[in-house]
Amino acid sequence: MSRKRVSRKCKASYVFLAVLIVVFAAVISVIGELREHLAEITEYRGREAATDIITSAVERTVSRCPYDDIYKLVTDENGTVLSAQLDADSANRVKNILTEEVENGLNKLNEDGISIPIGTLIGIPLPAVGSNTIDLSVQQIGAVKSEFVSNLETAGINQSRLTVYAVVTVDIRAILPNGHTDISVTEEHIITDCLVVGEVPQSYFGE
């Protein structure tokens, strides 16, 4: 009788141990999935924040200085456009202002960080889990990169269309509980779009 009791106790112990192992494995799996999901949401939120910063910076820069000054059209005696050349001084001035505006936005993001609602992370509606969030800090990596890119093409009879873009790249790092995720965002915004009389010149400042 005592042997049967011991045998039953051993079986119960084995069952308990097996259940414990299964539960432990399930918890590890869930934690891994939550970490992966957190990294994905963080990258999305970080990319979204960086995009908004660049867009706002371009808008503020446009309001502070005219972009038309960054290029000059060269014409012949008949007024035909020969080329569009970059004005280095004006371009550098505008680029400095744009970079400053972007960095101001990134500094604000560094102060505020990124908040991930718990409900968004685990996929449960917000009222069910309250308004708790996971707050993550964000750091700028390296310098803001900005440049001007142009496109000159025909736009009808004896007309050319000159389009100038501001291309801005920022790199940020979001600090996660188990590491970090790096996010690189490049945005292209039209800053000048105008028609000029004359055929497409052979050279222009975008070359």
The model's pLDDT over 64-123, given as tens digits with 9 standing for 90+, comes to 876 667 777 777 776 666 667 777 888 888 889 999 999 999 999 999 988 887 766 666
pTM of the entire predicted model = 0.72
Predicted local distance difference test score (pLDDT) of residue 51: 95
- In whole angstroms, what is the distance from residue 154 CA to residue 157 CA? 8
Q: Which residues of the chain have pLDDT under 70?
A: 1-9, 26, 28-34, 66-68, 78-83, 119-131, 155-158, 197-207
Indicate the number of domains in the chain: 1
DSSP state of 205: T
156, amino acid identity: G
Length of the chain: 207
Gap between the Cα atoms of 132 and 30, Å rounded? 20
Helices (H), the chain: 2-64, 88-112, 118-122, 126-129
Domain holding 27, by residue range, is 2-204
Give SS3 for 1: coil
Specify the pLDDT at position 125: 59
Question: Whole-angstrom Cα distance, residue 82 to residue 85?
Answer: 10
pLDDT of residue 7: 66
Pairing outcome for strands 133-136 and 138-140: unpaired
Q: What is the pLDDT of residue 205?
A: 46
What pLDDT score does 168 carry?
95
**Tens of pLDDT, residues 105-117:** 999 999 998 888 7
Q: What was the pLDDT predicted at 132?
A: 76
Helices 88-112 and 2-64 cross at an angle (nearest 10°) of: 150
